[in-house]
Structures are given as structure tokens and as C-alpha cells.
Amino acid sequence: MMNANVALRTILEAGEPVTDHRPWPRVVVTPELWNTLSEGLSGGAWSLLGLWGEVGMVHLAVYEDASETPGVASLPCPAGQFPSVGRLHPPAQRLERTIADLVGLQPVDAPDGRPWLDHGRWPVRHPLGGATARTSPPNPLSMHGEGVAKPGERFVYPFLSAEGESLHQIPVGPVHAGIIEPGHFRFTANGEAVVRLEERLGYVHKGIESLLRGATLERAARLVGRVSGDSTVAYALAFARAVEAATETTVPARAHWLRALMAELERLAHHCGDIGAICNDAAFALMHAHCAVLRERVLRASAAGFGHRLLMDCIVPGGVATDLPADGAKTLRALVDDFRQQFPPLIELYENTASLQDRTVGTGFVRPALIQQFGCGGVIGRAGGRAFDARRQPGYPPYDRLEFETPVQTDTDSDTDSDVNARVWLRIGEVEQSLALIEQILERLPPGSVRGDLNLPGRDCEGVALVEGFRGDILVWLRLAADGTVARCHPRDPSWFQWPLLEAAIENNIVADFPLCNKSFNGSYSGHDL
């Protein structure tokens, strides 16, 4: 029996290596090694990068922070079940419930047996597994699986309970009051104070992973680019990089730089929009109006540079779809100049408006220990002291040749750290970094072609990529079939490890501060629901 202090490398060496999986190793492990991985995750030595299934097998992607080593472990499940990871490591629970819903593999001894994405409304069960016709609602009907659903019975989702005097429940959603995505929030409150928030997601589940099976690379790239529309660049980049890793394709240098340019434009636009939207939820509309103007300028410059305001379908496996036109660099430089003039007064306004700070400081605090445990990425993670940035580690070009900082909140001792205010400031910091990156890229953009041919090997091959989107690290894992179509592809949104923390962030805050907390997280529903 191995102990939990074992290095990830030791496990990866003990397993049976899978050939043609790149760039990290993938190994087939025994149930014992699988459990050692769960223990290591629970002990905090590693972060969970992903957990997904396919017919007869589950895959676990982990990252060892100390040695900066990523790896994928796979466990065959001949009996249709696997030892629960969530039993020891809570961040895995929703992912396991999803595997049970989509693939039909059961996590043994899982603490939460409720379905997650399956609301009992699809015509099939286990669409990524046996895909049998549905004759009954999802099983089990209770938290611990005592209930058995009967055919035709209406599925009622059992929410967790909260006990105490004078508690009341507030159900919110799935249709929300603003122009936002659908999801359900079940608040239990004592007067104004929230004592429990439970999320129920899955409303925008579109069956993307099923659509990806058998898709051509061209169609798959369009699908993955629409997993979460606001992160279309990051998703398209992660997909392209995974395909290129699997096929050992080299991408022209100019394409790498143009991809980074698009990624930073996306980061700039959405961070800027979020800063304004957070202030708007504290009833400070002036910031919102000004940030929305800046954001619109980014989208217009993006359209002028690459032909699409959100840059959809601009990154393709092998390179990028279009090169920057002759006046593109000039347009983007003008955008940066504009930002440099307009943005600092807005920061000053944020900093000097006491009524606004009154709402954001100390609101929606998340304990740094939780952020570490969940391997939470993006500004939410970095506001809690977790410095992880996929642009640096595992890293990808051209960031190794660019100078930039990853703003991190290092002082996380008091209750006013890692709050809404900290998340605003980190976004401000990232806006400044993205501006500097755009300038550097425009300055040093190498000449040459922007797209190369894929080096399809004519046999099965697998690839994985981790890309830093504006929300955090996006994982894409895929297996290509011999004919060059997608056999299986799993995109994992950063929100998987952020949504659960929102439940913690709102505790003891007042109900009226929920929109503020939620906006400061800005989790993706579509990216999570798949």
C-alpha cells in the first residue's frame, strides 16, 4: 500500500502507460493506485484538473503543484463502477454525479448520489454510455439513494435541508431577472442572512460531448468554440492545442502570436465588462456605463482585426483562420491608447467612491483553504492566494517569450481579503497586464504563414491541453479516431471548481448581496452544463 505522500511521478510510473497520448503521460491504473490518487488530492498535494468517463473507463487528470507535473490516470470499470474520488475529495463530487448521469458508471461510496445534469427530461439515459431509452426518472430519488423511481413518476430533486427556527426558503431561477444564463439557486435564510445556498445547474445541458463523438475536426472546433460563448477564444485554443498535441502538428510561429493576441482581447473585454457589471450590482451605474463603452471598443477592434466581435471560429486546429489585415495593428494600438486614457480615471472612481466600497469590501469572502482545496483558477483563485496561471505552467507559446505578471492577492489573512473587492482589483490588474501583452505582441509579431496542415497519423491518438481563459484554466482532452474524426472529447470549464465556492462565499451575507457575489464570480452556466 502506497502512502499519500507519494510523488505523482511515482504513480505515473507505476501505471501502464498509454502510447500516443500527448503532451502529458496517461497511464492505466489499478483501483489501489486510483485510491492513492484520491488520497493525494484530499491531502492537498495535487489539484484536480478533471474527472470524466467513457464507456468502461474513468479518467482523472491531476496537477502536482510543487513539481508542476500534470498527468492523467485511467481506471477500467468492467463492473460499471469505480471507487468514488468525491468520498475523499469533495471537489470531485459534481463531476462524479455527471459521470453517473452521462456515462452510467457509478462512483462507489459516493457521499452524494443525486443526479446532477440529468433532470429526468431527456429521452435517453446515460447518453455517453449505453444510451438506453428512458422509461423512468433518474435514480436515486434521495440524497443517499434509498428511493427508487417508478416509471412515469415525476422527478423531484431533493434539496439539502437546513434546520433551525425562523428559517425560510427563497427559490430563484432557472429564469433569472437579468440578461443572464439559467440556473436554480435555493436560498435558506434567517431574516436577511443566508444560512445555506444550494445551486442546481444543468438547465442548459446541450449534450455537447455526445455531439462531439464522430464529429469532423471542423465541426468539433465550432462546437467546442460554443461550449461557453464568452470564452470562445480560450476553448477554441484549448481544442486546437489538444488536436495539435495528439497529431504532433507544429503550428507556424505567427499563429501562436495571433492566438495570444485574440486571447488577451477576450480577457480584456470580459474583465472590463465584469468590473462594470459588479459595480452595477452595487447600484453604481456610472462605472457600468463607462466600462460597457470600453468593452464595446474591444469588440469592435476585434471585429476589425479578425472579422468577428467575439472572435468565434477564428482559432482552428493548425493555426488561425484569418491573418490580421494591413491596418489591424494600427486599430489595436489605438484601442490600447484609448484604454490607457479612459481606464485609469475609472479605477480612481472605484477606489474613491466610499458608498461603492462599502458594498464590495468584506462581502462574499472565500476562505483561502477552500480555494486551494478546490484547485480554483482564475481571478477567484488568485484573489485567494492561489497563483496558478496556465499561461505559465504548464505554459504554451508565445507566453514564454512575453513579459507579464499574474496579479495574486498574497495577503489573505483577514476577512476583508479574497472578497468581492479583491476580485475587482485582480480584474483591474489583469486588464493592465492584457494591455501590456497586446502591445508586446503587436510589437514583435513574427512574419510568415498563419495556418499549417495537420499531421494526421491515420491511427488513434490522444491529446490534452490546458489554456488560461478569462475565467480560469480550461482543460480539453480528446481522442481522435484513425479517420481523423473525434472519438471522444471532454472540455472542462473552470466554473466546475468555482460554482461550489459561491455557496461558501454567500454564507452569512445578506440575500441582497447575492447578485454582487455572483457577479464577482461570474461562473459559466453553459460551460459547466455542457
Q: 81-83 and 106-108: which strand pairing?
A: parallel
**CB nearer to another protein: pick between 125 and 254:** 125
Q: Does 222 sit near another protein (CB under 8 A)?
A: yes
Q: Does 213 sit near another protein (CB under 8 A)?
A: no
Query: Is there a contact between 124 and 101 (Cβ–Cβ < 8 Å)?
Result: no
Q: Does 223 sit near another protein (CB under 8 A)?
A: yes
Candidate list 28, 81, 219, 460; residue touching another protein; CB under 8 A: 219
Indicate the SS3 state at residue 158.
coil
Q: From edge to edge, which strands make up the β-sheet containing 167-172?
A: 167-172, 184-190, 193-200
Taking the complex as a whole, how short is the minimal distance between the CB of residue 123 and another protein, in angstroms? 6
Q: Does 239 sit near another protein (CB under 8 A)?
A: no
Taking the complex as a whole, how short is the minimal distance between the CB of residue 496 and another protein, in angstroms? 16
**CB nearer to another protein: pick between 12 and 215:** 215
Q: How many CB atoms lie within 10 A of CB 176?
A: 16
Candidate list 140, 229, 362, 452; residue touching another protein; CB under 8 A: 229
DSSP 456-489: --SS-EEEEEEEE-SSSEEEEEEEE-TTSSEEEE
Distance, CA of 302 to CA of 314 (rounded, Å):
11
Candidate list 151, 154, 352, 413; residue touching another protein; CB under 8 A: 352
Taking the complex as a whole, how short is the minimal distance between the CB of residue 255 and another protein, in angstroms? 23
**CB nearer to another protein: pick between 37 and 489:** 489
Q: Which region among 48-56, 71-79, 285-293, 421-429 touches another protein (by CB under 8 A)?
A: 285-293
Q: Does 354 sit near another protein (CB under 8 A)?
A: no
Q: Does 106 sit near another protein (CB under 8 A)?
A: no
Q: Does 360 sit near another protein (CB under 8 A)?
A: no
- Give buried/exposed letters for 139-154 (b at 16+ CB in 10 A, else e): bebeeeeebebeeeee
Q: Does 104 sit near another protein (CB under 8 A)?
A: no
Distance, CA of 526 to CA of 530 (rounded, Å):
6
Q: Does 482 sit near another protein (CB under 8 A)?
A: no
Distance, CA of 390 to CA of 397 (rounded, Å):
11
Q: Does 23 sit near another protein (CB under 8 A)?
A: no
Q: How many CB atoms lie within 10 A of CB 496?
A: 27
Number of amino acids touching another protein (CB under 8 A): 53
Q: Which amino acid is at 148?
A: V
Distance, CA of 329 to CA of 326 (rounded, Å):
7
Q: Does 292 sit near another protein (CB under 8 A)?
A: yes
Q: Does 341 sit near another protein (CB under 8 A)?
A: no
Q: Does 421 sit near another protein (CB under 8 A)?
A: no
Q: How far is CA 420 from the centre of its chain?
A: 19
Q: Does 446 sit near another protein (CB under 8 A)?
A: no
Candidate list 227, 238, 371, 380; residue touching another protein; CB under 8 A: 227
**CB nearer to another protein: pick between 389 and 529:** 529
For residue 95, what are the CA distances in angstroms to 85, 117, 227, 496?
10, 10, 17, 8
Q: Which amino acid is at 426?
A: L
**CB nearer to another protein: pick between 223 and 366:** 223
Cell 498563419: give the residue: 450
Q: Does 290 sit near another protein (CB under 8 A)?
A: yes
Candidate list 43, 80, 171, 178; residue touching another protein; CB under 8 A: 178
Taking the complex as a whole, how short is the minimal distance between the CB of residue 349 and another protein, in angstroms? 6
Candidate list 6, 28, 55, 124; residue touching another protein; CB under 8 A: 124
Query: Is there a contact between 143 and 149 (Cβ–Cβ < 8 Å)?
Result: no
Q: Does 139 sit near another protein (CB under 8 A)?
A: no
Q: Does 286 sit near another protein (CB under 8 A)?
A: yes
Candidate list 96, 199, 230, 493; residue touching another protein; CB under 8 A: 230
By CB under 8 A, the residues from 190 to 209 that bind another protein are 202-208
Q: Does 526 sit near another protein (CB under 8 A)?
A: yes
Distance, CA of 381 to CA of 427 (rounded, Å):
12
Written as nine digits, the cell of 40 is 493525494
Q: How many CB atoms lie within 10 A of CB 483?
A: 11
Q: Does 260 sit near another protein (CB under 8 A)?
A: no
Q: Does 384 sit near another protein (CB under 8 A)?
A: no
Long-range contacts: 503-509, Cβ < 8 Å, 24+?
503/196, 503/197, 503/198, 503/199, 504/366, 504/367, 504/370, 505/364, 505/365, 505/366, 506/194, 506/197, 506/364, 507/194, 507/195, 507/196, 507/197, 508/193, 508/194, 508/195, 509/193, 509/194, 509/363, 509/364
Residue 485 backbone dihedrals phi, psi, to 5 degrees: -90, 170
User: What mask, x for binding another protein by CB under 8 A, covers residues 53 to 92?
Assistant: ----------------------------------------
Q: 319-320 and 461-468: which strand pairing?
A: unpaired
Residues facing residue 124 across a β-bridge: 133
Taking the complex as a whole, how short is the minimal distance between the CB of residue 527 and another protein, in angstroms? 8
Q: Does 214 sit near another protein (CB under 8 A)?
A: no
For residue 133, what are the CA distances in angstroms to 53, 56, 79, 137, 183?
20, 19, 21, 11, 26
Taking the complex as a whole, how short is the minimal distance between the CB of residue 525 and another protein, in angstroms? 7
Residue among 466, 19, 476 nearest 217 (CA): 476
**CB nearer to another protein: pick between 296 and 439:** 296
Candidate list 1, 78, 123, 154; residue touching another protein; CB under 8 A: 123
Interface ranges with another protein (CB under 8 A): 119, 121-124, 127, 131, 174-175, 177-182, 202-208, 210-211, 219, 222-223, 226-230, 232, 273, 286, 289-290, 292-293, 295-296, 299, 303, 309-310, 312, 345, 349, 352-353, 524-526
